[in-house]
């Protein structure tokens, strides 16, 4: 009887540790996504450089037309104050830790003028740092 109780307690602890680790991972990837959004909102290229993999691309859908923006182009536009500069409210739709080294975050970043729906793909680098490797964005007027 005592052995069964101990086994049950151990199993619950193991399961709860897995859930805690998964939640920590989700928080980590949400922070990376939020830093990307905040970098644009504040027109701060350094915040974006810290989380955006240098060879990544952003695919932006506006009015049914796609545009592709490289990481270097995006950062240059921030430096030149050609985009961003307006705070947006973030609402997370989905955050998934897909495996040890892959994750995805889906969020809305809404300003009074525009609503941005982001699907942000991430990978963990050899150093253990999460980096954004691809972004698909749909922009709609509010």
Q: Which of 100, 95, 94, 107 is nearest to 125 (CA)?
A: 100
What pTM does this model have? 0.82
CA distances from 118 to 10, 17, 61, 83, 84 (A): 40, 30, 10, 16, 15
pLDDT in tens for each of the 142 residues of the chain? 555 554 554 444 454 444 445 455 699 999 999 999 999 999 999 999 999 999 999 999 999 999 999 999 999 999 999 999 999 999 999 999 999 999 999 999 999 999 999 999 999 999 999 999 999 999 999 9
Domains of the chain: 2-141 (3.10.450.50)
């Amino acid at each position: 009887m005592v052995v069964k109780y101990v086994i049950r307690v151990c199993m619950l602890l193991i399961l709860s540790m897995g859930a805690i680790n998964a939640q920590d991972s989700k928080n980590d990837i949400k922070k990376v996504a939020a830093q990307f959004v905040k970098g644009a909102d504040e027109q701060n290229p350094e915040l974006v450089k810290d989380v955006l993999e240098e060879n990544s691309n952003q695919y932006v859908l506006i009015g049914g037309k796609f545009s592709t923006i490289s990481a270097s182009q995006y950062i240059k536009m921030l430096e030149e104050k050609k985009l961003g500069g307006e705070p947006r409210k973030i609402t997370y739709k989905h955050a998934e830790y897909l495996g040890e080294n892959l994750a995805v975050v889906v969020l809305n970043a809404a300003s009074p003028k525009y609503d941005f729906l982001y699907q942000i793909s991430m990978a963990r680098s050899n150093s253990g740092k999460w980096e954004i490797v691809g972004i698909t964005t749909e922009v709609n007027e509010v």
